[in-house]
Structure 1
Amino acid sequence: METLIDTFGEPTLMLVLGLVVGAVFGLAAYRSRFCLRAATAELAEGRVGAKLMIWLAAFTTAVVSVQSAVWIGALDVSNARQLASVGSMSGAIIGGLMFGVGMILARGCASRLLVLSASGNLRAIITGLVLTLTAQASLSGFLSPAREQIAGLWVVNGGTARALFAPDSPLLPVAIALCTTCLVAVLVIGPRRGAPRADLVGAMIVGLAVYAGWQGSYAIANASFELVAVQSVTFTGPSTDTLMTLVTAPSMPASFGMGLVPGVFFGAMIAAIFMGEARIQRFEPNVPMERYLFGGILMGFGSMLAGGCAVGAGMSGGAIFAMTAWVAVFCMWIGAMTTHVLLGAMGDPKLI
């Protein structure tokens, strides 16, 4: 690793890591139909079906692989933003609820919108742009005072106060064992619930992509004399950075996030082409466009409050046992399931 750093430099290595991890994630996510919105909709309807099995396979794989590496000392995520910096419980709760509502209205979370965009889905592209612009406005624009005020209602210090388990906690191997048992159960039960084995394998690759992001960035940071952020897959922040760089800068700086977004896009595009599903898809005439746009706004603001999207907080943050990430993803489930039930009660199946 030191030789690679001396030859190419840390930014270039992080860019390549982002491209590779993103391409694997995009291809596997598209192939497996990995989608948190679909999983929450299934459960809201009282079904334990294929979509839920696929999400659980991805999530438990990410947790088991990351925490196993932490337990044996091969990975140290204590300096990751989701653990080391000050967090917000109020942001995780309110932002998670907003994000959950938004992803039902928009029929996809941030990662799913990016993956679908690669297949030619214009609804996903436009909704994703609205999400990204709202996120930027929430980070440093006219919505930032509201975000800061809500986030400041209930804060938690970084470090051990923000972690579910310390790396040396005797409860850590117990948690790993429980998650491993859950993963095995999903792989056994999943096909009986309609989840093809190939899709379950694809979902596991999604989880391993999250692990690869943590492990790869840690390897670079551990071998570097420069300050390198240990990070993994997330979409709201990198998407805003990519968009603002394209709009305001003549050149694109090398970083993990700058490689991640195009990597996911092209990985998903390859999957869509090989599966024969690459085609232009427009807004349907009987589904209001404003529903998607309002969903994008809620997700953009909610993700900045919650500290990440369904993947950034839910998968990457959840995999390193960040307490605020687990609260955020739980609230995403609550917000999404409640919204799905309410829309279903309105009697129009097109709304859900």
Structure 2
Amino acid sequence: MTDAQVLSLTHQVLVLGFVLGGAFGALSQRSHFCVMGAVADVVNMGDWQRARMWGLAVAVAMAGFAGLQALGWLQASQTAYGGPRLLLASNLVGGLLFGLGMVFASGCGAKTLVRLGGGNLKALVVLLVMGLSGSMTLRGLTAVWRDRSVDRWALELGHAQDLATWSGLPLLGVGLALALAAWALWPREGRGRVAWGAAVGAVVALAWALSARWALVPEHPQTLEAAYLGTTHNRPEALSFVAPIAGLLEYLQYFSDGTRVLNLGIVSVLGVIAGAAAMALWRREFRWEGFRHTEDLAFHLVGAVLMGVGGVTAVGCTVGQGLSGLSTLSLGSLLAVLGIVMGGVLGVRWQTWRLMR
């Protein structure tokens, strides 16, 4: 493969990444897919419909990942979620911070992008602050704090941390996916709404296939080594939104010096905004919205900071860990999602207490 062919293939990968991001944004706008909303519905009203939608999305993504493994295209150990180092404190504490933040900011990173596409200017403020705090936690001041604290509470497993490897059951992902899908679809009530989760999960599975198969060059002409074109860290990846939002801001800031290039994470962020905007306009749901008062702004700022710091610390958000990570059966993803749900429940209960008071 020549350099020109590599460049052409990279462009194809990025275009397809934008399309998948657009599909995720459009589906989320249409179905109101939102993990924070799912937690709030369960805590406040005992309504499990959006939680079941999330469960079905995880099931489809999990089945898709298992299928790619069976084809030999992808292994959990190749991803950011399946390595041998289990970040016990980082996954749990980062998830807890992110869960609290998404309640204060009226939605997680993915929902922020969808809300921005629908005309919500509050989401633009959240995006900018979350991207800045995420960038700081990747390479700045809070990165030093992260490295010197929670990142040190880790276990070196000596093998991949996914449950399929641990159990020695390569088809475990298929079995868990079927169980989750059965739980999500068993009640008749709201089944049509819950079914949207299958489409969301399929987008995540396609993102894995794109980065692991379409983007793979077995022998790059410059390095003579295998390369995953367009990916952030030269390995298979699916959808995640906190670190890519930080990457988007850095790309815009350092565009002229050529040190930052487009990657799947950045184009998927742009795709989500575009897809959500297209769906909102098509359904005539596009509405400009701003902050109502200073307190509203303050809560969103705090939430944005918590999501930026927490999302990077936990190595993912409600989509990065809650869909992409869980699809790999990663132990770290389970801890991160546990932290996110705990943080979300605490945040929702605190809001309820505050209103009652």
Regarding TM over 0.5, the answer is yes
Instruction: Give the Å deviation of 1:166.
Output: 1.7
* Aligned partner of residue 239 in structure 2, secondary structure: coil
Q: How many residues align?
A: 343
* Matched AA of 1:245: Y
Residues 23 and 266 in structure 1, CA contact (< 8 A), matched pair in contact too: yes
Aligned to 2:353: 345
**1:234–1:216 Cα change, 3 Å:** same
Instruction: Give the Å deviation of 1:83.
Output: 1.6
Cα distance in 1 for partners of 2:286, 2:191 equals: 21
Instruction: Give the Å deviation of 1:60.
Output: 1.8
Cα distance in 2 for partners of 1:286, 1:184 equals: 45
Instruction: Give the Å deviation of 1:55.
Output: 1.6
Cα distance in 2 for partners of 1:61, 1:287 equals: 40
* Aligned partner of residue 152 in structure 1, secondary structure: helix
Cα distance in 2 for partners of 1:246, 1:222 equals: 27
Residues 21 and 268 in structure 2, CA contact (< 8 A), matched pair in contact too: yes
Residue 236 of structure 2 corresponds to residue 238 of structure 1? no
* Matched AA of 2:80: R
Cα distance in 2 for partners of 1:210, 1:8 equals: 25
Match of 2:333 among 309, 325, 332: 325
* Matched AA of 2:156: N
Q: TM-score, normalised by structure 1?
A: 0.89
Residue 292 of structure 2 corresponds to residue 284 of structure 1? yes
After superposition, the CA RMSD in angstroms is 2.5
Cα distance in 1 for partners of 2:162, 2:172 equals: 16
Aligned to 1:209: 203
Name which of structure 1's ranges 42-51 and 337-346 shifts more when overlaid on structure 2.
Answer: 42-51
Percent identity of paired positions between Structure 1 and Structure 2? 25
* Matched AA of 1:184: A
Residues 185 and 191 in structure 2, CA contact (< 8 A), matched pair in contact too: no
Residue 163 of structure 2 corresponds to residue 164 of structure 1? yes
* Matched AA of 2:107: G
Aligned to 1:18: 17
Cα distance in 2 for partners of 1:37, 1:158 equals: 32
Cα distance in 2 for partners of 1:173, 1:152 equals: 31
* Matched AA of 2:174: I
* Aligned partner of residue 84 in structure 1, secondary structure: coil
Cα deviations by residue, 1:175-197 (Å, 9 ceiling, x for unpaired): 422321321332242x51xx361
Match of 2:185 among 164, 184, 187: 187
Cα deviations by residue, 1:75-122 (Å, 9 ceiling, x for unpaired): 334211222364411100110111111111111000100111011101
Residues 62 and 173 in structure 2, CA contact (< 8 A), matched pair in contact too: no
Residues 23 and 275 in structure 2, CA contact (< 8 A), matched pair in contact too: yes
Cα distance in 2 for partners of 1:82, 1:177 equals: 20
Cα distance in 2 for partners of 1:4, 1:340 equals: 52
Instruction: Give the Å deviation of 1:4.
Output: 12
Residues 71 and 168 in structure 1, CA contact (< 8 A), matched pair in contact too: no
**1:57–1:5 Cα change, 3 Å:** farther
Cα distance in 2 for partners of 1:291, 1:155 equals: 32
* Matched AA of 1:335: G
* Aligned partner of residue 346 in structure 1, secondary structure: helix
Cα distance in 2 for partners of 1:287, 1:212 equals: 41
Aligned to 2:231: none
Aligned to 2:223: none
Instruction: Give the Å deviation of 1:13.
Output: 3.1
Cα distance in 2 for partners of 1:168, 1:91 equals: 24
Aligned to 1:91: 90
Cα deviations by residue, 1:225-263 (Å, 9 ceiling, x for unpaired): 132221110111111111111112126624212321111
Instruction: Give the Å deviation of 1:49.
Output: 2.8
Instruction: Give the Å deviation of 1:173.
Output: 2.6
Cα distance in 2 for partners of 1:283, 1:348 equals: 22
Aligned to 1:304: 312
Cα distance in 2 for partners of 1:90, 1:202 equals: 33
Cα distance in 1 for partners of 2:26, 2:87 equals: 33
Aligned to 1:45: 44
* Matched AA of 2:206: A
Residues 67 and 176 in structure 1, CA contact (< 8 A), matched pair in contact too: yes
Residue 272 of structure 2 corresponds to residue 261 of structure 1? no
Name which of structure 1's ranges 31-40 and 154-163 shifts more when overlaid on structure 2.
Answer: 154-163
Match of 1:177 among 175, 180, 183: 175
**1:20–1:152 Cα change, 3 Å:** same
**1:322–1:345 Cα change, 3 Å:** same
Instruction: Give the Å deviation of 1:158.
Output: 6.9
Cα distance in 1 for partners of 2:17, 2:86 equals: 25
Cα distance in 2 for partners of 1:48, 1:341 equals: 15
Q: TM-score, normalised by structure 2?
A: 0.88
Instruction: Give the Å deviation of 1:73.
Output: 3.5
Residues 84 and 160 in structure 2, CA contact (< 8 A), matched pair in contact too: no
Cα distance in 2 for partners of 1:7, 1:89 equals: 38
* Matched AA of 1:200: V
- Structure 1: tracts of 5 or more residues without a match: none
**1:29–1:85 Cα change, 3 Å:** farther
Residues 88 and 152 in structure 1, CA contact (< 8 A), matched pair in contact too: yes
**1:80–1:163 Cα change, 3 Å:** same
Cα distance in 1 for partners of 2:78, 2:180 equals: 28
* Matched AA of 1:243: L
Match of 2:213 among 215, 219, 231: 219
